[in-house]
Copies of this chain bind each other. A is one copy, B any other.
Amino acid sequence: MSNTNKRIIMTSHPVGFPQESDFQLEEVPVPEPGDGEFLVKHEYMSLDPYMRGRMNPPSKYAYAEGQTPGSVMLGGAVGRVIASRHPDYAEGDAVATYAGWQEYCLTNGKGYHYYKIDADLAPIEAYLGVLGMPGMTAYFGLLSLCDPKPDETVYVSGAAGAVGSYVGQIAKLKGCKVAGSAGTDDKVAWITGDLGYDAGFNYKKHADFPAKLAETCPDGIDCYFDNVGGAMSDAVFGHANVFARIAICGQISQYNLKAPELGPRILGLILVRQMRVEGFIVTRFLDQYPKAHADMAQWLKEGKLIYRTTVAEGIENAPKAFLGMLNGENTGKQLVRLA
């Protein structure tokens, strides 16, 4: 094994859209496990939109534990144990960690982000996607918050993303009509083809969102799974049915604004249409993960749930891939494969 751990630190809080210069590669020695610790060599690490929020200066209501300049970018990763002085972890075990953008992770395994992976069930990188945080997010946001009924219309923004691509498929499994938006024709072809969405459109080509929603959701919208926010959400609120349920999962259109933008007030619509709008961070459903894992794994096995990954190679390319993901260049789950 190499005795160098390459990792990416955040050098400064970005203002507006992050730059590659907000990140820096550094090399440090690979640590040795002490008593009760084990060392993981990461094979894949995860890039997720929520990480952008974490790059902002700390606030009382941080979306996730904040980064400070000089710290390693945090996040999920998967790999295998290569040295252990921990009774429960043996060399070769596949594990998930939360050590972020680095090649190695030394840990005592405590915390709910650290757990063994069943590599027979799915490739280990699936635990960063369909069986990991994005999959759980799709499952609970849709089923627990939106609670869609058969024949209801479910609309998904960011429909070809890591989370949105599962949301639509789960909604179809539940007997819903499903529509969504994505940012390229290829993505739209994927969601309305392989993923089984009933309708979709390229939001970059069609600026008249209300007209496209009327066309793709002729019966209005009963459930909205929002990954995007901004003008898309404005239009969805305007096309929502009475008693619509709206799960706020992400707001990627807003993360890189230099100053917050104004928009139409929505409380009046929420009132007269008796909507329920709920924001969530998936870890609140932690105690229900086993059921979700079982369902998702079953659907995977039956071929009812498919996924795509966009894979960047090598930790050096993580910042560039992260910025690309914020620009919507990925389809499905964005990963980095480590050397």
Q: Which of B63, B248, B271 contacts A279 (CB 8 A)?
A: B271
Q: Output the least CB separation between A214 and chain B (Å).
A: 12
Q: Output the least CB separation between A269 and chain B (Å).
A: 8
Q: Which residues of B contact A271 (CB under 8 A)?
A: 63, 248-251, 279-281
Complex alpha-carbon distance, A257 and B87, angstroms: 68
Q: Which residues of B contact A62 (CB under 8 A)?
A: 272
Find the B residue at minimum CB distance from A263: B265
A266 within 8 A of B: yes
Number of copies of this chain in the oligomer?
Answer: 2
A267 within 8 A of B: yes
A85 within 8 A of B: no
Q: Which residues of B contact A233 (CB under 8 A)?
A: 267
Most buried by B among A249, A271, A278: A271
Asked whether B284 lies within 8 Å of A279 as measured between CB atoms, the reply is no
Q: Which residues of B contact A284 (CB under 8 A)?
A: 274
A260 within 8 A of B: yes
Q: Output the least CB separation between A65 and chain B (Å).
A: 12
Most buried by B among A230, A250, A267, A269: A267
A268 within 8 A of B: yes
A292 within 8 A of B: no
Find the B residue at minimum CB distance from A284: B274
- What are the interface flags for A203-245 relative to B under an 8 Å C-beta threshold, 1 for contact and 0 otherwise? 0000000000000000000000010011001000000001000
Asked whether A251 lies within 8 Å of B274 as measured between CB atoms, the reply is no
Complex alpha-carbon distance, A268 and B255, angstroms: 9
Q: Which of B61, B250, B260, B277 contacts A265 (CB 8 A)?
A: B260
A270 within 8 A of B: yes
A287 within 8 A of B: no
Q: Which residues of B contact A242 (CB under 8 A)?
A: 61
Asked whether A274 lies within 8 Å of B279 as measured between CB atoms, the reply is yes
A53 within 8 A of B: yes
Which A254-301 residues sit within 8 Å CB-CB of chain B? Answer: 254, 260-281, 284
Asked whether B279 lies within 8 Å of A278 as measured between CB atoms, the reply is no
Q: Which residues of B contact A274 (CB under 8 A)?
A: 278-281, 284
Q: Which residues of B contact A260 (CB under 8 A)?
A: 264-265, 268
Complex alpha-carbon distance, A63 and B273, angstroms: 8
Q: Output the least CB separation between A18 and chain B (Å).
A: 17
Known: A248-B271, A263-B263. 12 other contacts (CB 8 A): A61-B269, A61-B272, A230-B265, A254-B265, A254-B268, A260-B264, A262-B264, A267-B279, A274-B284, A275-B278, A275-B279, A276-B278
- What would 21 A/B residue contacts be, using CB atoms closer than 8 Å? A61-B242, A61-B269, A63-B271, A63-B272, A229-B267, A230-B265, A248-B267, A251-B268, A254-B267, A254-B268, A260-B264, A260-B265, A262-B263, A263-B264, A263-B265, A267-B279, A270-B278, A271-B279, A271-B280, A271-B281, A273-B279
